[in-house]
């Protein structure tokens, strides 16, 4: 496989979409066009209300992604002007992932460092193999993590831990990643795919409007400002939805609910 093939694969199983970072010959390292394609894909999926969960993974089982392809630096990131253009594209993709209203699950096999760590960290649940490795050794390249990127890392682990990761540039194991809050769950390597897809199914079977409200409320609480009475009232709007009626009736009828997102 070479880059003549799609670098982002999109596979759909009913209401679950799996996005595969598809450069296995480069352990799924990112190129500039690949960043743009990933962002465009997330923007398109964001507008599709029939999607209930997105799974992000790397091709194969050697790596999620090591981040950017260093071989590109001589041609497309060799000076500040080129790097800024590249960064604007990367940051647009980060925003597209962050703004996507659908729940996201990272399926992490193997290496997950640098930009790969940033993408996985933007997912809501991160499931990794017990042999996965993590880190952001960019100081060894003389490379700065710009505001949108470092902000995503700090949001995930906090400023102190983010600075530790960047200062030392170590690549560390899954247990330490769990301790730092980078991953949600560790499973044996041969169970990562199964557990990530089962997690996506549990999410997709829930009420999509509820998932979106919970995301909105958690993001709002993170701002630290007092919640207004009007905002508090929004917490009761779910009672006027069709999904609420379906949910409690299905519970009483002892059947699986069929949520419509209405």
What are 110's two structure tokens? 């193997």
Give how far Cα 209 sits from Cα of 147, 242, 246, 251, Å: 31, 10, 13, 18
Helix (H) or strand (E) holding 126: strand 125-129
Q: How confident is the model over 243-253, as pLDDT tens digits?
A: 999 888 889 98
Q: Residue 83: what pLDDT? A: 86
Mean pLDDT value of segment 183-195 = 97
Residue 226 DSSP class: P
Q: Residue 1: what pLDDT? A: 47
What structural domains does the chain harbor?
A: 8-204 (3.90.226.10), 208-253 (no CATH)
Q: Residue 24: what pLDDT? A: 95
Q: Residue 2: what pLDDT? A: 59
- Sheet containing 63-65: order of strands: 63-65, 111-113, 133-135, 171-173
SS3 content of the chain, % helix, strand, coil (to 5): 50, 15, 30
List, in sequence order, every residue forming a beta bridge with 111; answer none if it has no partner.
63, 133
- Report the percentage of the chain scoring pLDDT > 70: 98
Q: How confident is the model over 44-68, as pLDDT tens digits?
A: 999 999 999 999 999 999 999 999 9
Torsion of the alpha carbons at 194, 199, 201 and 207, rounded to the nearest 10: 180
Which 3 state secondary structure label does DSSP give 136?
Answer: coil
Q: Residue 3: what pLDDT? A: 57
Q: Residue 261: what pLDDT? A: 83
Q: Residue 215: what pLDDT? A: 92
Mean pLDDT of the chain: 93
């Amino acid at each position: 496989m070479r880059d003549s093939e799609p670098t982002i694969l999109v596979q759909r199983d009913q209401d679950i979409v799996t996005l595969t970072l598809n450069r296995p010959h480069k352990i799924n390292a990112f190129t500039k066009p690949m960043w743009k394609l990933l962002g465009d894909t997330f923007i398109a999926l964001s507008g599709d209300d029939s999607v209930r969960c997105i799974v992000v993974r790397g091709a194969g089982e050697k790596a999620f992604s090591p981040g950017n392809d260093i071989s590109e630096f001589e041609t497309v990131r060799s000076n500040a002007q080129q790097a800024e253009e590249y960064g604007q594209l990367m940051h647009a993709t980060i925003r597209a992932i962050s703004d996507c209203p659908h729940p996201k699950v990272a399926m992490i096999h193997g290496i997950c460092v640098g930009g790969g760590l940033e993408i996985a960290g933007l997912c809501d649940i991160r499931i990794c193999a017990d042999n996965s490795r993590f880190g952001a050794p960019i100081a060894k390249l003389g490379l700065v993590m710009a505001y949108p990127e470092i902000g995503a890392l700090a949001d995930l682990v906090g400023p102190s831990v983010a600075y530790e990761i960047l200062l030392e540039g170590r690549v560390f194991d899954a247990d330490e990643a769990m301790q730092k809050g980078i991953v949600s769950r560790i499973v044996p390597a041969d169970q990562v795919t199964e557990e990530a897809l089962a997690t996506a199914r549990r999410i997709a079977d829930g009420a999509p409007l509820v998932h979106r409200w919970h995301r909105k409320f958690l993001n709002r609480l993170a701002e630290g400002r007092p919640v207004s009475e009007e905002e508090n009232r929004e917490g009761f709007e779910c009672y006027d939805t069709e999904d609420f009626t379906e949910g409690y009736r299905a519970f009483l009828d002892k059947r699986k609910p069929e949520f419509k997102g209405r």
